[in-house]
Structure formats: C-alpha cells, structure tokens
Structure 1
Amino acid sequence: MQRPSLLQSSSTQSWLSPQGSSSGIIVKKTVRVDIPVDAYPNFNFVGRLLGPRGNSLKRVEASTECRVLIRGRGSIKDPAREEMMRGKPGYEHLNEPLHILVEAELPVEIVDARLMQARDILEDLLKPVDESQDFYKKQQLRELAMLNGTLREEGSPMSGSVSPFHNSLGMKRAKTRG
C-alpha cells in the first residue's frame, strides 16, 4: 500500500521549542527514500549507509538533525530473525521493499531544508559505484581500520608480516594481550 504523499506532517504548538526559533512551532515530518535493491541486487546498500559501527549513518543524523531509519525486507541483518519478526506488531515494515525513513521534529522554518539535506546525502550514498572508484567505501574501510587499530599508512616501510614494534636496536617488543 503506497502512501499518496512523501511528506507527512503534524504541527503542534510547543512550549518546549528551542530558543531562537522565531515562531515556536515544531513540526514532525517524514520522508521516505526507496533503496534500489531490485536494480542492484548484489550491492550492499545497508552496509554502505551504516558504515563502520554505524558511524556513517550517525554522522548524517548529527549533521542534519534528522533521524534515519532503515526499514523493509533486508533491514535486519539476520534473515532468520527477520523472518521470525515478520508480521509481529512494530515490524509491519518487513513486508515492504527496503527503504529509508528520514524523520525530523524541528522548527517549521528549518524542517523541510534539513529533510531535503538528509535526503540528498542518502540518495548520493545509494548510487552504486564501481568498487575501484568508490572513494566513500575507501574512507569507511580506513575508518574501520582505525577503529580496529589495524590502520597502516600508504607507503609505510612495514609489510603485514613485520611487527610494528621495533626499537632503535632492532629488537622486537614482546607481544602482549590488550
């Protein structure tokens, strides 16, 4: 069942509105962005959107002040768990194709601009790119290596088989658990 409009909004007068808001009216709006899994069945859209430990999605949320939700078939990592949850209250979205919901509850003056900013960022991430040309994925892999403590800079004289622990005498430091 398709919704006739991409934007749903509800307006409420709020005494909790952020200071600096000229009208004081906070609105909640939602935008749906479809993920083209049918056109690109082998592309890992969810991984690209989430990034290492969910950090890419968190950055989109922080920069736009919007909440980003990945919904639909394939939104749960474990297919067996997804099948188990299908049809249960709160999981009705699992009967729909994979999509993103972008929600914002912001002052009426800025809510549309923030939603469109988030949508533009997400649509850009949803354009499949050949892996050899994918700068964004390279950045994500670099970030993951940094998080895991396995980052090696390009052009480093060390190879993967050489210990990073060398002192000036050429002695290796003992391996420790940590």
Structure 2
Amino acid sequence: MAGLDHKAAPQYNFVGRLLGPRGNSLKRVEASTECRVLIRGRGSIKDPGREEMMRGKPGYEHLNEPLHILIEAELPVEIVDARLMQARGILEDLLKPVDESLDFFKKQQLRELAMLNGTLREEGAHTSPSVSPFHNSLSMKRAKTRG
C-alpha cells in the first residue's frame, strides 16, 4: 500500500488514527476484512529509542523505509483479491486527513476511549450511532491468518 505522507500532513497522527483506542480501530478493520494490517517503516514503533535500537536488526529492515501499511491475507483464491481491496479502501478512507471540526471518526474514537476509561459524560440527549468506515463495528477480535 502507498506510504503515509507526513510531508503533506505533518501534524496528522496516522498511526494513532489507524490503531484507535487500545488498537480497536485496527482490530475492527482486520475482523471485517479477514486481512492482517501491519504498520511498517519509520515511526511504526511508538518508542523512538526502541525503534533506533531495532533498526538494522533481522526482521526490522522495514524501519529504513518510509512509514507505510502492509496488508496480508491467507484466504481462498476466489475471495482474497476482493478482501485485500476492501481493506485498502477502508484504510484509505480512514487515513485521509480531515479538518478536525469535521472529523466524525476521530470524535467517535475519542468517545470510545472515554467509554473504555470510564470518563464518558453524555451531553444532551442521545448521541448518534457509531460512525465507522467499516460495517462490522462490534467484533474486537484480531483476524487470524492461516499458517
């Protein structure tokens, strides 16, 4: 998949947006598409010191590359391409920089985080249902790959 363009949006937290509260946004993408989504490249490890320490070690060659996403799937041949394209479409929509005042997905992520932390305070009447770029928003299991 194409890289995450930090030059075009230097303040945009691509990794945080992809992961969501406690990794739940990424888990939902994986569960709904049965694909595995991997964050790779510079900035993919949260701790910059650890990332620097791991750079050049076997299995961490990707740290010399720009930040990017790798989508994997081990599915039957008749559905694998469609699922990979579905995952790519969801991720492209999810990672498109949006003006913060119009960013309903980020607002939903912050609301979910407040619920998880027990700090959610409802304002007004009922809030709208979950805003999500993918349809299966209930499952939190990480997609398993065969092998």
Specify the TM-score bucket, using the shorter chain as the normaliser. Answer: 0.7 to 0.9
2:102 is matched with 133
Amino acid at match of 1:93: H
Alignment of 1:56-75 (within 5 A): 56-75=25-44
Greater share of strand: 1
Alignment of 1:19-168 (within 5 A): 32-155=1-124
SS at match of 1:61: helix
Sequence identity, in percent? 87
Segments of 5+ residues of structure 2 without an aligned counterpart are 126-147
CA distance in 2, matches of 1:43, 1:113: 29
Segments of 5+ residues of structure 1 without an aligned counterpart are 1-31, 157-178
Amino acid at match of 2:98: V
Q: What's the TM-score, normalizing by structure 2?
A: 0.83
| Higher relative contact order, structure no. (Cα contacts within 8 Å, ≥ 6 residues apart) | 2
Shift >2 Å, 4+ stretches: none
CA distance in 2, matches of 1:74, 1:47: 11
Q: 1:126, CA displacement in angstroms?
A: 1.4
Query: Which of 1 and 2 has greater Rg?
Result: 1
Paired residues, number:
125
Greater share of helix: 2
Work out whether residues 33 and 119 of structure 1, in 8 Å CA contact, stay in contact via their aligned partners in 2. no
